[in-house]
């Protein structure tokens, strides 16, 4: 335990996947300290062992002697020897306090915390780390500060507070780098990777591990090498690549044995066991867990013991020995509670819930899964970063799916107890939580009152991230990408981007904290703020039917809710539904494939609408979809109440919502809002190229400014991802805009066409004066990185000079658009990254945050001419027939359906209205 000890957290979790009527498996990883044996301590204290004569020197010598003896005990690694190490460290601490040596006091306090952490006593560890930190700062010991910050992060990580852990790691990392302490940098990078992994962001985790591994190899730190190899294996296991996972575990295991790291050996055995378990070799898995358990007991790691007991219980359960499984789960629970591991406690509770359900004890199962959900919802609220909160919640959706299915089983046994309504409530609790919080946040306008300097820093950081990311991607796609110099540049940019992203997340947390409005906000209470059945019914009109879906692994559910009734239907498993969904939109994108699209529309309708056919007549349909159903146009599905194919929209107005609770939040906000004074602003038919016939001059220079060069590169990548050569002019958008503008007096509208359809107009405060905003241009969604989704506006001015024209999702979040309706008359604007529990994260979310009461967006690459015809009819229905947007869209779609030229769903089915229908 020398003063630069940096402990590595070796606790990684397999993302839980609930299977109905079975249990989930927690990836057993044991919290290990990076042991620094007596050899290192002897080197550190060699000078202090010289003969001394003064009382001061005698005290110091006695302290060093006790410290060395503590190191010998620590090296033994047993529970008893660790307790003896604490006694010796306490003795050394007293002597250094007597000698007034604050530097050694801080080091010893840190290492007392380290030993308590190794024993699984996290709160005691935290107490000593917090005593060490100010002393290290006082004496200017940056190495001590960095080490203690890292170790505090590890405690928070093991307690489930990932946001706090990340904060402390990000404080430690720059200090490690400043000191040139590569071993510490490697350890901290690996720990940061572990946070991202446990929050469900495997690619980001792998990036950090990949940065950490060569550093630990360079400094010859075999302990950290082994730990990082193990953690890389865990990522591959989580991604389903079991053979790759085994490869890395088998690289880690001999290294662990070589350095005598018993806890590390136990961890890796556990992880290999989990791979065999997933490969259906349950006996081999149990054998490996049982090899790991005595090693963990020997080092006294209670947290690791609890996890291993949990895994043994899971193995017995899978082998059908329920009694043994129950025994091991019940042995794990008190240990997890003792060490304060809430995340592990929730996992074991959920395993118990599955076990009790298998044994027919449904109420006991209910008690356990409710307790588990309560814990994960509490842990979720501690994560400040919106993205990490979303990814964490996505990994926990199995808990909700399990509970919904359990409640429906209880409902079948006793239909009078309202279990079906409770299942609907938990379906609500599982979805769109981040969006609800965003809407709450937007209503409070937290950025409006935030520190302007922080907002300026945020913009600057975002630009830096964009710039470096574009440079990196250009290098990755360059002809000489395998050149060693290019590879070094890519690696350097990766490290810089990682650091900037960490700074960006911290800055966003500061902006929230500094906003006067944010201090008044609390996380929505799922018991109070997420709607239950009576509150959902209050949101519905008598002519409205809510259809809410929950897709499950063994069966799915559909709730049909009116203001006075509720009925639930059992549907096929998710996989069966997804197989049909996968081929449906692609057939709609072909204008001449009407027969094929009709056949698929009938097949899908039979699966997801036929059970509720008798409830549909005369109803507006409000759809809360789930999973793959979010990507389909319900308007084109076959109406199940008629024999001959009729698209559902012929007889039904259709509205989409991410959850029923979001409409309640929106309505609370809209009730306080005054309507904008003017009717309509249109941005249409931008100029994308200097070769466009509308360009009348010659550019002053062909040289792009650095920021524009990066923007153009990003737009080119996006065009390629959409299989486009570039951004061609959409000529019909001008016809569309001019026809719509004729419906409104000029004094009540704004037209920004051609060169005026630019970034400056789109971000102008002028737009907040209009009730309807209409963007007729190219748009795109980046499913991997939603923040890079955007709208393409004019890229050149009248002389052909390049200008900024990329309106990104991040820009939309910074706009004030208090509009009744925002229309994105562009391609695929309603799609996004499908995140479990959140739905499609894309442009729609940014527009709702900016203030839109409802949005009209598309689900595929639409026809330029067909869209122009649809939009003209849409606005006629709204502005001349005084119809609400969803009603007007239905009427416009019906008009195109009745015209042989536009009859194919390809032309009219892509657009959908989301949000308020009243």
Tell me how far CA of residue 645 lies from CA of 589, 607, 612, 685, in angstroms.
18, 15, 17, 37
Q: Which of 425, 443, 447 is nearest to 435 (CA)?
A: 443
The answer to whether the CB of 751 falls within 8 A of the CB of 798 is no
Please report which confidence band the pLDDT of residue 501 belongs to, taking 50, 70 and 90 as the band edges.
Answer: low
Task: Indicate the range of 11-20, 107-116, 365-374, 789-798 predicted with least confidence.
Answer: 11-20
Tell me the mean pLDDT in the region 719-732: 75
pLDDT digits (tens, 9 = 90+) for 638-654: 999 888 889 999 999 99
pLDDT attached to residue 628: 86
C-alpha 96: how far from its chain's center? Answer: 47
pLDDT attached to residue 385: 61
pLDDT digits (tens, 9 = 90+) for 534-576: 999 999 999 999 999 999 999 999 999 999 999 999 999 999 9
Query: What would the two tokens of residue 506 be?
Result: 């911290």
User: Which residue matches tokens 């700074």?
Assistant: 503
CA distance 28 to 299: 16
Phi, psi for residue 55 in degrees, rounded to 5: -60, -40
Query: Order of strands across the sheet with 854-858?
Result: 566-571, 556-561, 544-550, 620-624, 654-656, 911-915, 854-858, 821-825, 770-776, 678-684, 749-753
Query: What would the two tokens of residue 747 be?
Result: 């004094």
Residues in Cβ contact with 682 at an 8 Å cutoff, skipping those fewer than 6 apart: 737, 740, 741, 749, 750, 751, 752, 753, 774, 776
Residues in Cβ contact with 339 at an 8 Å cutoff, skipping those fewer than 6 apart: 120, 121, 122, 158, 302, 303, 306
**How big is the CA angle at 295 (ends 290 and 299), to the nearest 5 degrees?**
145
For 1-21+33-179, the fitting CATH number among 3.40.50.300, 1.10.357.10, 3.10.20.30, 1.25.40.10 is 1.25.40.10
**821-825 and 911-915 as β-strands: parallel, antiparallel, unpaired?**
unpaired
Tell me the mean pLDDT in the region 280-304: 89
Please report which confidence band the pLDDT of residue 430 belongs to, taking 50, 70 and 90 as the band edges.
Answer: confident
Tell me the mean pLDDT in the region 74-100: 88
Q: What is the DSSP string of 688-753?
A: --TTSTT--S--S-SPPPHHHHHHHHHHHHHHHHTT-SS----THHHHHHHHHHTTS-GGGEEEEE
CA distance 289 to 268: 10
CA distance 216 to 227: 10
Evaluate if residue 627 carries a pLDDT over 70: yes
pLDDT attached to residue 784: 61
Element (H, E) at 158: helix 142-158
pLDDT attached to residue 34: 32
pLDDT attached to residue 24: 25
pLDDT attached to residue 39: 28
pLDDT attached to residue 730: 85
Tell me how far CA of residue 405 lies from CA of 377, 412, 424, 495, 749, in angstroms.
19, 11, 11, 44, 52
Query: What would the two tokens of residue 353 be?
Result: 């819930």
The answer to whether the CB of 105 falls within 8 A of the CB of 96 is yes
Phi, psi for residue 210 in degrees, rounded to 5: -65, -30
Evaluate if residue 21 carries a pLDDT over 60: no
pLDDT attached to residue 519: 40
**749-753 and 778-780 as β-strands: parallel, antiparallel, unpaired?**
unpaired
CA distance 471 to 474: 5
C-alpha 871: how far from its chain's center? Answer: 35
**Greater model confidence, 862 or 721:** 862
Element (H, E) at 467: helix 452-476
CA dihedral 872, 877, 883, 884 (to 10 degrees): -20
Q: Which of 453, 438, 311, 547 is nearest to 849 (CA)?
A: 438
Evaluate if residue 65 carries a pLDDT over 80: yes
Highest mean predicted confidence (pLDDT) among 459-473, 596-610, 665-679:
596-610
The top-level CATH class assigned to 533-656 is alpha beta
Phi, psi for residue 744 in degrees, rounded to 5: -135, 140
**Greater model confidence, 428 or 19:** 428
Residues in Cβ contact with 595 at an 8 Å cutoff, skipping those fewer than 6 apart: none
pLDDT attached to residue 31: 25
CA dihedral 363, 368, 370, 375 (to 10 degrees): 170
Evaluate if residue 911 carries a pLDDT over 70: yes
pLDDT attached to residue 782: 67
The answer to whether the CB of 211 falls within 8 A of the CB of 187 is no
Evaluate if residue 786 carries a pLDDT over 80: no
Mean pLDDT for all residues in the chain: 81
**770-776 and 821-825 as β-strands: parallel, antiparallel, unpaired?**
parallel
Evaluate if residue 169 carries a pLDDT over 70: yes
Tell me the mean pLDDT in the region 225-251: 92
Report which DSSP code applies to 612: G
Q: In angstroms, how far apart are the furthest CA atoms of the chain?
A: 106
pLDDT attached to residue 214: 93
Please report which confidence band the pLDDT of residue 738 belongs to, taking 50, 70 and 90 as the band edges.
Answer: very high
pLDDT attached to residue 827: 65
Start-to-end C-alpha separation, the chain: 67
Report which DSSP code applies to 778: E
CA distance 267 to 256: 10
Helix H, strand E, coil C: the string for 838-907 is CEEECHHHHHHHHCCCEEEEECCCCCHHHHHHHHHHHHHHHHCCCCCHHHHHHHHHHHHHCCHHHCCHHH
CA distance 631 to 708: 33
Q: What is the DSSP string of 651-665?
A: T--EEE-S-HHHHHH
Tell me how far CA of residue 756 lies from CA of 692, 762, 793, 795, in angstroms.
15, 9, 9, 11
**How big is the CA angle at 435 (ends 460 and 507), to the nearest 5 degrees?**
25
């Amino acid at each position: 335990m020398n003063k630069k000890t940096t402990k590595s957290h070796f606790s990684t979790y397999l993302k839980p996947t609930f299977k109905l009527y079975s249990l989930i498996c927690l990836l057993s990883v044991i919290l290990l300290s990076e042991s620094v044996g007596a050899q290192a301590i002897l080197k550190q204290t060699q000078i202090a062992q010289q003969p001394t004569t003064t009382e001061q020197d005698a005290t110091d010598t006695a302290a060093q002697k006790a410290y060395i003896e503590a190191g010998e005990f620590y090296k033994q690694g047993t529970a008893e020897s660790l307790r003896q190490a604490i006694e010796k460290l306490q003795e050394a601490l007293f002597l250094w306090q007597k000698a007034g040596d604050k530097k050694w006091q801080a080091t010893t306090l840190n290492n007392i915390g380290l030993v308590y952490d190794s024993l699984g006593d996290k709160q005691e560890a935290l107490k000593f780390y917090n005593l060490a930190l100010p002393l290290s700062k006082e004496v200017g010991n940056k190495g001590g500060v960095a080490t203690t910050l890292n170790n505090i992060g590890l405690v928070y990580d093991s307690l489930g507070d990932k946001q706090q852990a990340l904060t402390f790691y990000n404080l430690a990392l720059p200090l490690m780098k400043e000191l040139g302490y590569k071993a510490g940098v490697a350890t901290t990078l690996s720990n940061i990777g572990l946070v991202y992994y446990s929050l469900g962001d495997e690619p980001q985790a792998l990036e950090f591990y990949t940065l950490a591994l060569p550093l630990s190899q360079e400094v010859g730190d075999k302990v950290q090498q082994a730990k990082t190899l193990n953690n890389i294996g865990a990522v591959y296991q989580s991604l389903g690549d079991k053979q790759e996972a085994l490869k890395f575990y088998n690289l880690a295991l001999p290294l662990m044995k070589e350095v005598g790291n018993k806890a590390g050996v136990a961890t890796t055995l556990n992880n290999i066991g989990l791979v065999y378990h997933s490969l259906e070799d349950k006996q081999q898995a149990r054998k490996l867990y049982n090899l790991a358990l005595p090693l963990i007991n020997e080092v006294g790691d209670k947290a690791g013991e609890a996890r291993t007991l949990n895994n043994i219980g899971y193995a017995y359960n899978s082998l059908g020995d329920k009694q043994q499984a129950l025994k091991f789960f019940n042995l794990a629970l008190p240990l997890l509670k003792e060490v304060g591991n809430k995340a592990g406690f929730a996992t074991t509770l959920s395993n118990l819930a599955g076990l009790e359900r298998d044994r027919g004890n449904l109420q006991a199962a209910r008690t356990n899964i409710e307790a588990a959900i309560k814990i994960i919802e509490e842990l979720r609220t501690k994560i400040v970063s919106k993205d990490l909160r979303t990814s964490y919640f996505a990994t926990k959706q199995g808990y909700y799916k399990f509970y919904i299915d359990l409640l429906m089983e209880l409902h079948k046994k006793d239909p009078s107890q309202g279990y079906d309504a409770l299942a609907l409530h938990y379906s609500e609790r599982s979805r769109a939580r981040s969006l609800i919080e965003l809407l709450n946040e937007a209503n409070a306008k937290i950025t409006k009152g935030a520190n302007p300097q922080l907002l300026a820093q945020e913009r600057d950081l975002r630009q830096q991230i964009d710039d470096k990311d574009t440079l990196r991607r250009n290098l990755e796609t360059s002809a000489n990408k395998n050149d060693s110099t290019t590879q070094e540049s890519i690696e350097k940019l990766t490290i810089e981007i990682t650091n900037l992203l960490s700074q960006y997340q911290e800055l966003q947390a500061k902006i929230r904290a500094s906003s006067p409005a944010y201090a008044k906000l609390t996380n929505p209470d799922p018991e109070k703020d997420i709607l239950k059945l009576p509150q959902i019914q209050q949101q519905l009109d008598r002519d409205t039917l809510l259809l809410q879906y929950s897709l499950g692994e063994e069966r799915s559910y559909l709730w049909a809710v009116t203001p006075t009734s509720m009925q639930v239907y059992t549907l096929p498993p998710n996989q069966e539904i997804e197989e049909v969904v996968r081929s449906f939109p692609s057939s709609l994108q072909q204008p001449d494939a009407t027969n094929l699209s009709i056949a698929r529309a009938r097949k899908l309708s039979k699966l997801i609408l036929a059970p509720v056919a008798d409830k549909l007549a005369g109803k507006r349909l409000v759809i809360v979809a789930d999973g793959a159903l979010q990507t389909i146009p319900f308007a084109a599905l076959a109406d199940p109440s008629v024999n001959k194919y009729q698209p559902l929209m012929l007889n039904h107005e259709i509205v989409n919502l991410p959850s029923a609770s979001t409409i309640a939040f929106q309505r609370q906000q809209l009730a306080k809002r005054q309507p904008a004074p003017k009717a309509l602003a249109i941005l249409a038919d931008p100029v994308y190229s200097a070769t466009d016939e509308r360009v009348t001059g010659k550019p002053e220079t062909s040289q792009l400014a650095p920021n524009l060069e990066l923007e153009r590169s990003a737009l080119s990548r996006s065009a390629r991802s959409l299989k486009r050569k570039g951004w061609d002019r959409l000529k019909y958008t001008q016809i569309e805009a001019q026809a719509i503008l004729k419906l409104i007096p000029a004094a009540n509208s704004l037209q920004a066409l051609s060169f005026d359809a630019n970034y400056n107009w789109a971000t102008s405060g002028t737009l907040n004066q209009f009730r309807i905003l209409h963007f007729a241009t190219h748009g795109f969604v980046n499913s991997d990185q939603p923040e890079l989704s955007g709208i393409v506006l004019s890229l050149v001015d009248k002389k052909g000079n390049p200008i900024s024209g990329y309106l990104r999702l991040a820009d939309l979040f910074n706009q004030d658009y208090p509009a009744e309706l925002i229309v994105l008359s562009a391609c695929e604007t309603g799609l996004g990254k499908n995140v479990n529990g959140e739905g499609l994260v894309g442009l729609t979310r940014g527009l709702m945050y900016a203030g839109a009461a409802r949005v009209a967006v598309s689900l595929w690459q639409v026809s330029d001419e067909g869209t122009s015809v649809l939009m003209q009819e849409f606005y006629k229905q709204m502005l001349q027939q005084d119809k609400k947007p969803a009603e007007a869209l239905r009427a416009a779609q019906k008009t195109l359906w009745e015209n042989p030229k536009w009859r194919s769903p390809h032309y009219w089915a892509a657009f959908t209205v989301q949000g308020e229908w009243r």
